[in-house]
Amino acid sequence: MTTTPLGSDIERLGFLLFLMLVTGALALVAWPFVSPLLWSMLAAIMFQPLYQWLLARNPGKTTRCALGALTIITVAILMPALWIGAKVVEQAAAVFVAFQNGDIDVAQWFAQVFGALPESIRASLRSEGLGDFNMVQDRLQELATESAGLIAGRAVAIGGGALSWVLAFGVGLYVTFFLLRDGKAIGSATLRALPLEHSIAQRLAERFLAIVRATIKGSGVVALVQGTLGAITFWIAGMPSVALFGVVMAIFSLLPAVGPAIVWVPAAIWLLATGAIWQGVVVIVSGVAVIGMADNVLRPILVGRDTGIPDWVILVTTLGGIAMAGISGIVLGPLVAGLFMAGWTILSEQRTAGSA
């Protein structure tokens, strides 16, 4: 194969402009499937060791090994996730119907919890206008109205886009298969084509892979474990909708500083205030000694090394990523922060080396 010289600076500029336009056009065409493509890439990165393990036992059979790895991913992860999602939707709908029919007396709950608080806290809440349930109800009603509109819009979008969801799911599985099989070759070709020094491109690629693995293995797996432990704890305490509470706890565990305590602490307060003493104690003990310790024990084992991103940066970028890209922002936010810090670190090192 022969290469064509670019010639003059104008020709080089024209060729770069062509590359920018065609790259932007490709991004625009593929944009409707950006979420499944992203998760396909993440799945291929995380399960590449599984593919290599199968390939080592079946040398040369790349297609068969990629198909086997994809089958394991589907059976062991995707199908249970879909089942859990269906249970969460069912329990969320049951809670909504209970509120709508008046089966859940929120006013009584509020009075019980408020009466169990120390007088100093009650006085502070009264000064903020939160001591009267009717005033609190008005504020919650406003929030509920806005939330109901958002939820209704989402529900219509999900129902109306069922075919799109199935298509995106199929595209995701299809792309995952090829990324498992050809991911290393695609990654090497991408690094060679980047208009960066090879050493810099290599460092950024290593940083990219480290952050992806840290986010999914460290945050994702820990969130799954903490959500499962929370669901078991709530089941022991006799609380309803344990799957729903477990998923909510798993989501909040992705956020540094607040974590799953934002779910189990109010649950424990409500149990104690309503006279369920031993149940409240169980939730507190489990929250502190089991759920809280899971992060400290599992994260160093799963991540292996620190990502170098401060907790407050992870918190801000995770929330910002979720606001911009939905659930994909859980990975995209810290990833952008990590590449930002890596890029500036490399620039600082080069300037230091140049001035030495």
User: Which is nearest to 43 in space by CA: 165, 174, 179?
Assistant: 179
Tens of pLDDT, residues 213-241 = 777 777 778 888 888 898 899 889 888 77
Tens of pLDDT, residues 138-183 = 555 555 445 444 444 444 444 445 667 778 888 889 999 999 999 8
Q: Which bin fits 8, alpha (ψ -120 to 50), beta or left (φ > 0)?
A: beta
Give the pLDDT of residue 68: 92
- Half-sphere exposure of residue 222, counting CA atoms within 13 Å on the CB side? 28
Helix (H, G, I), strand (E, B) or coil at 3: coil
Give the pLDDT of residue 129: 57
Q: Strand runs (DSSP E) across 216-332, as ranges?
A: none
Give the pLDDT of residue 314: 76
Q: Which amino acid is at 204?
A: L
The Cα–Cα gap between 237 and 254 comes to: 24
Q: What is the pTM of this model?
A: 0.69
Give the pLDDT of residue 151: 46
DSSP per-residue codes, 53-105? HHHHHSTT-HHHHHHHHHHHHIIIIIHHHHHHHHHHHHHHHHHHHHHHHT-S-
Q: Which two tokens stand for residue 233?
A: 């704890």
CA angle 321, 325, 329 (to 5 degrees): 40
The Cα–Cα gap between 76 and 262 comes to: 30
Give the pLDDT of residue 176: 92
pLDDT in tens, the chain (356 residues): 555 555 567 888 888 888 889 989 988 988 888 888 888 988 898 899 999 999 999 988 899 999 999 999 998 888 887 887 777 777 777 766 666 665 555 555 556 565 656 666 666 666 655 555 555 555 555 554 454 444 444 444 444 456 677 788 888 899 999 999 998 888 888 888 887 888 888 888 888 888 887 777 777 788 888 888 988 998 898 887 788 788 888 877 777 666 788 888 888 877 877 778 888 888 888 888 888 787 777 766 665 555 667 777 777 887 788 778 777 777 788 888 888 888 888 888 877 877 66
